[in-house]
Amino acid sequence: MSAVIEARDIELSFGETAALRGATFDAGPGEIVAVMGPSGSGKTTLLHCLAGILVPSAGEVRFDGQRIDGLNEHQRSTLRRERFGFVFQFGQLVPELTVEENVALPLLLGGSRRGEALREARRWLDRLGLAGMEGRRSGELSGGQAQRVALARGMINRPRVLFADEPTGSLDSLTGEQVMDLMVAAAREHGTTVVLVTHEPRVAVYADREVIVRDGRVHALAAS
């Protein structure tokens, strides 16, 4: 099975602090991989490098076999918009936009017609149990609702890879489970690869495979 997303020996430092020291990672089509590790181990930095948010100082990152670490800012933005989706812990919804506009944002940025983008957004909202909330603002949502909106936005363009960074970190366990159920179901249905960064073992159990990041290096842990 060829990897959809992979990193080879990547390194990245913030000033004097080395966050990644030759990290290697890969995830296959439709695979859900949990990236675990203690705080400060480099797991979020690894996700940022895989998603083209940060560029490693050494090593290479490939998507569908093509190197993406050499792409320029504009190309990496387009890649994120068209091929990737994101669900983060918080701070990802645009507070000034309504729920449906937030979900439609990747399509709107990609040049889709407004009506078409909003229709697609409503379909995803229905599916994730958020019907009737289209006109609300992010400040009017509960934590679980906000994460489901983020999931809808992350999935609206049917991404090849969904990057989820502590998606249940701000939720209670029950709500967290609901969000994870929906995320896994959506990913499975569309064959989306999921890179799931978490420090919670109960979240990691949703993954097909777990890796652990320690001191900037990735160690295989076990298959779930």
Partner 1 sequence: MIRFGLRLALANGREALLRFVVIAVAVALGTGLLLATTAGVRALDAQVGRGAWLRGQQAPGGPAADPVVWAGREDFFGGKSIWRIDVGLKGANPPAVPGIPRLPAPGQYYVSPALHDLIATHPADQLAARFPGHEAGIIDENALESPDSLVAVIGRTPGEVGGIPRAHEVTAVSTSPQKIPTAAMDLVLSVVAGGLLFPLLVFVGTATRLSATRREQRFAAMRLIGATPRQVTQLAAVESGAAAVAGTIAGFALFPALRAAMAAVPLTTERFFPADLSPGLPIAVLVALGVPLGAIAAAALAMRRVRISPLGVARQVTPKPPRAWRLIPVVAGLVELAYFVGRKPETSSGQTAAFLPGFLITMVGLVIAGPWITMVGARLMARHARRLPTLVAARRLADNPQAAFRAISGVMLALFVVSVATGVITTMHFERGVRYGDLAAVTLEQHLGPEGTLPDDVSDRLRHVQGVTFALVLHDNPDDGPASPSSIVACADLARIPQYGTCAPGAEYAQIWSNLVGFDRTRTGTGTATVWPTAPVTAAQVTALPLDSVVVGLDGSAAAHERARTAMGLAYPDYEVPALTDLERGSNSRTQMALFQRLADVIMLFSLPIAGCSLAVSVAAGIADRKRPFSLLRLTGVPLRALRRVVALESAVPLLAVAVLAAVTGFAAAQLFLRAQMGYTLAAPDWSYYALAGLGLAVSLAIIAATLPLLSRITGPETARNE
Least distance (Å) from partner 1 to the CB of residue 209? 25
Q: Give 94 or 131: the residue with its C-beta nearer to partner 1.
A: 94
Least distance (Å) from partner 1 to the CB of residue 223? 30
Least distance (Å) from partner 1 to the CB of residue 10? 17
Provide the 3-class DSSP secondary structure of residue 82: helix
Q: Give 1 or 115: the residue with its C-beta nearer to partner 1.
A: 115
Across 159-176, b (16+ Cβ under 10 Å) vs e yields bbbbbbbbbbbebeeebb
CA dihedral 155, 159, 162, 168 (to 10 degrees): 0
Phi, psi of 210 (to 5 degrees): -125, 140
Q: Give 81 or 190: the residue with its C-beta nearer to partner 1.
A: 81
117 Cα distance to chain centroid:
21
CA dihedral 173, 174, 176, 177 (to 10 degrees): 110
Q: Give 122 or 153: the residue with its C-beta nearer to partner 1.
A: 153
Instruction: Specify the DSSP class assigned to residue 28.
Output: -
Q: Give 74 or 222: the residue with its C-beta nearer to partner 1.
A: 74
Compute how many other C-beta atoms are within 10 angstroms of the C-beta atom of residue 90: 14
Q: Residue 10 and residue 25: Cα distance in Å, rounded?
A: 9
Least distance (Å) from partner 1 to the CB of residue 181? 22
Least distance (Å) from partner 1 to the CB of residue 51? 8
Q: Give 165 or 210: the residue with its C-beta nearer to partner 1.
A: 165
Strands 161-165 and 193-197: parallel
Q: Which of 108, 97, 158, 222 is nearest to 119 (CA)?
A: 108
Binding residues vs partner 1 (CB under 8 A): 48, 53-54, 73-74, 77-82, 84-86, 88, 90-97, 105-106, 108-110, 114, 143, 146, 153-154, 170
Least distance (Å) from partner 1 to the CB of residue 174? 18
